[in-house]
Structure 1
Amino acid sequence: MKEHSTIYIYPTDTVWGIGGSIYSESAFLQVMQIKKVQFPRPVSVLVSSLETLAQFVSLDDLPFSTEVLQKVFASECSLGVPLELLKQSVPTWIYQGSDSVLFRCLAYPWILQIVHDLGGAPIVTTSLNLTSDPPISDWEGAERFWQTYAADAKFIHKRECLQALPTFSPSGQASTIIFLKKAPAGCSGKQPCLQIVREGRFAAGIAELLLA
């Protein structure tokens, strides 16, 4: 796939994000530089549909239905999938030597447009902030960051979002992060073994969905 090195700044359901094509190491390194990250760290893969996710993960091998998965992603959740469940590899700079890849799924119109601009590539995504600061969740803060630290990036303006979704606003809360894990003793059958590494505002409901 053609490499697109353009950087984008965009709102998500939780906080503002910054990213580019998952196939562009240049985009990844630019994001790390903008955030002033001293040592590269794992980032997430943002897809715009479960159909795109299915290009990378065998959904039939997951211990829950696609209907449940859709509800999980609609609940401000990032899902860590073990590398052995990937049917298509992702670039190594995405997961930085870890044993899982984090996925998010959002179908906002501006996310669809970014994916289209990237030639269909998913987005390597992380929170918009300097590494020493909390993630940005407000429109004004995101615009200031763009103008100060990443003026060459393509910025998704408030008017674009509100024209598409008049009541849209990031929640301001970090997403729940849940990793699927290999089944240890005590986990059997199709019951998923989960590790919640960060609790967002819907963490309890997400765990209940996945374990139902």
Structure 2
Amino acid sequence: MKTEIKNSLAILKNQQILLYPTDTVWGIGCDATSEEAVSKIFKIKQRSESKSLIILVDGIEMLQKYVPEIPMTLIDLVKKTSNPTTIIYNNPKGLANNVVASDNTVAVRIVQNEFCRKLISAFGKPIVSTSANSSGDTTPKSFKEINQSILDSVDYVVDLQREEVNDKSSTILKVDNNGKVIVLRM
């Protein structure tokens, strides 16, 4: 795992694109603070930049650096949950403009996958996580289901967890403008 983290760090630091396992499905990722890198992901996915992306952080401390207003109920929830949970927050800061949705929100998940957590911690910044498929195509549940065009379009493919099948989606919650939490997907 140490070699994969080292190789992945070099990719992230050079504004390049990574294909990696997450706590849900395989993801295409990059530095979530780099507009240049994020633009490459939209191109790979053949997706409009008006569509939002999920970012991953390694814990609450990193989350609070990029999302200044987090309701206490959500902090308690993310500390207790063992299920991947993506939360859409209002008014993020310090992220690439093209990772923030047009309504000034961002979808963030505190990652539980060991590789991802260690990578993000070593990188010191959040990374983008979007499913490893072109926009509109079926989300691959395993590495072997990833289309060759996606494999060819990234700069590095992590050599871990390639035999695992993961069809787990994250729960999606949203914080409305009044701080109320709304369930979008369980």
Into which bin does the TM-score normalised by the smaller protein fall? 0.7 to 0.9
Shift of 1:195: 2.4
2:33 is matched with: 23
Q: Any idea what the Cα deviations from partners look like across 1:10-32, whole Å, max 9, x if unmatched?
A: 12222111110012212111111
Shift of 1:103: 0.5
TM-score scaled by length of structure 1: 0.70
Q: Is the 8 A contact 2:33 2:94 kept in 1?
A: no
Q: Is the 8 A contact 2:133 2:150 kept in 1?
A: no
> How far apart, CA to CA, are the structure 1 residues paired with 2:137 and 2:74?
37
- Amino acid in structure 2 at the alignment position of 1:173: K
Q: Aligned match of 2:181 in 194, 199, 202? A: 194
Relative to 1, partners in 2 of residues 1:178 and 1:170: Cα closer, same or farther, differing over 3 Å? farther
Relative to 1, partners in 2 of residues 1:132 and 1:92: Cα closer, same or farther, differing over 3 Å? same
Larger radius of gyration: 1
After superposition, where does 1:143-162 map in structure 2 within 5 Å? 144=148, 146-147=150-151, 149-150=152-153, 152-157=154-159, 160-161=160-161
The unaligned stretches of length 5 or more in structure 1 are 163-167, 184-191, 204-212
State the SS of the aligned residue for 1:75: coil
After superposition, where does 1:24-39 map in structure 2 within 5 Å? 24-39=34-49
1:77 is matched with: 85
Identity, in percent, stands at: 20
TM-score scaled by length of structure 2: 0.79
Q: Is the 8 A contact 2:78 2:85 kept in 1?
A: no
> How far apart, CA to CA, are the structure 2 residues paired with 1:124 and 1:58?
19
Relative to 1, partners in 2 of residues 1:91 and 1:26: Cα closer, same or farther, differing over 3 Å? closer
Is 2:137 the partner of 1:133? yes
> How far apart, CA to CA, are the structure 2 residues paired with 1:4 and 1:116?
17
- Amino acid in structure 1 at the alignment position of 2:145: G
Shift of 1:8: 0.9
The unaligned stretches of length 5 or more in structure 2 are 1-11
Shift of 1:113: 4.6
Shift of 1:143: 7.2
> How far apart, CA to CA, are the structure 1 residues paired with 2:126 and 2:132?
18
After superposition, where does 1:58-97 map in structure 2 within 5 Å? 58=68, 61-64=70-73, 66-72=75-81, 74-83=82-91, 86=92, 88-97=93-102
Aligned residue pairs total 175
Q: Is the 8 A contact 2:56 2:127 kept in 1?
A: yes
> How far apart, CA to CA, are the structure 2 residues paired with 1:144 and 1:80?
31
Q: Any idea what the Cα deviations from partners look like across 1:142-187, whole Å, max 9, x if unmatched?
A: 374543x42x421122xx348xxxxx9453132221101123xxxx
Q: Is the 8 A contact 2:133 2:139 kept in 1?
A: yes
